Amino acid sequence: MSSPHVSVISLLMPEQEKRVVFLTARVHPGESPASFICQGVIDFLVSQHPVARVLRDHVVFKIVPMLNPDGVYLGNYRCSLMGFDLNRHWQDPSPWAHPTLHAVKQLIVQMNQDPKVSLEFYIDVHAHSTMMNGFMYGNVFEEEERVHRQAVFPRLLCHNAPDFSFSSTSFNRDVVKAGTGRRFMGGLLDDTSYCYTLEVSFYSYMAAGSSAPVPYTEETYMKLGRNVARTFLDYYRLNNLIDENKPTSLSNSSLDGQSYRQGSGRNTDGEKGDRRIHGNKEDF
């Protein structure tokens, strides 16, 4: 990484596996909920929870938790120290004016050109000032199969996270969003990669069957991050690798009463896992 401003957290799996999930957050400095979601992802992935162990063994997670550190330091809402909305400069970032974007873009291009690496997800985490719940933005493609495949991950996340709304998730090619990370990466990476913006409300969510909105807290933001991480277990159909007898060190990371749903993603051996995980009536 050429820029001193970018901190990349890399959770490595065995050398023979190079399936990569790349997450970025806080490109807009005022969207502080994105940091709590990112914290939830990181804390869970580095824990000793059996789900986290399996994920680390089979997936490489590369995480840039803060793309706009100078804007955060200054208390800016949307722009960097130089006055740029960094999420409109992914197409041609300057190493001088947009050093974090330039460094991350170089890293992603390098990985994308490596035949030993399969960069399968890019997720940029944001916060939304007018909508409730968590939801995603995705890209629009001509191939119907790719359109359906892109919807798999947010559908699985909807089953794992009570505050995530698939009905609010949308797929678009708005010209105004052309310079965003999600749009740029969607054009750069091949058709085996999925690029999303993960949004979460600044204020509240409405759970299914609820008649009143529930205010978000730091803990519920981090819980959404944990649920994002665990959804990759479903997506890659790694449920059958979980050892249910292993103790966990996370007091707040027991599983809820529902069985994990099997995703429609890829498995390491091409077979569908049949073990379900059960636990207390509490989410990750």
pLDDT of residue 271 exceeding 50, the answer is: no
Query: What's the rounded mean pLDDT across residues 112-140?
Result: 94
The one-letter amino acid code at 131 reads M
Predicted confidence band of residue 270 (pLDDT cuts 50, 70, 90): very low
Percent of the chain with pLDDT over 90: 65
Instruction: Supply the mean pLDDT for the chain.
Output: 83
pLDDT of 45 reads 98
Query: What's the rounded mean pLDDT across residues 208-226?
Result: 93
Give the start-to-end residue ranges of the domains of the chain: 9-241
Predicted confidence band of residue 11 (pLDDT cuts 50, 70, 90): low
DSSP characters over the chain: ---TT---EEE---TT--EEEEEEE-SSTT-THHHHHHHHHHHHHTS--HHHHHHHHH-EEEEES-S-HHHHHHT-SS--TTS--GGG-SSS--TTTSHHHHHHHHHHHHHHH-TT-EEEEEEEE--BSS--SEEEEE---S-HHHHHHHTHHHHHHHHH-TTB-STT-EE---GGGTTSHHHHHHHHS-TT-EEEEEEEBSSEE--TT-SS-EE--HHHHHHHHHHHHHHHHHHTT-GGG--TTS--S-TT----SSPPPP-SS--SSS----------S---
Stated pTM of the model: 0.81
Residues taking part in catalysis: 199
CB 134 within 8 A of CB 224: yes
Q: Which two tokens stand for residue 106?
A: 């170089």
CB 234 within 8 A of CB 263: yes
Give the chain's largest Cα–Cα span. 53
Q: Give the C-alpha distances (Å, rounded to integers) separating 277 from 18, 51, 191, 242.
A: 26, 10, 31, 8
pLDDT of 15 reads 54
pLDDT of residue 248 exceeding 60, the answer is: no
CB 230 within 8 A of CB 284: yes
Q: Give the CATH number of domain 9-241; options: 3.40.50.300, 3.40.630.10, 1.20.58.100, 3.90.1510.10.
A: 3.40.630.10
pLDDT of 60 reads 96
pLDDT of 173 reads 73
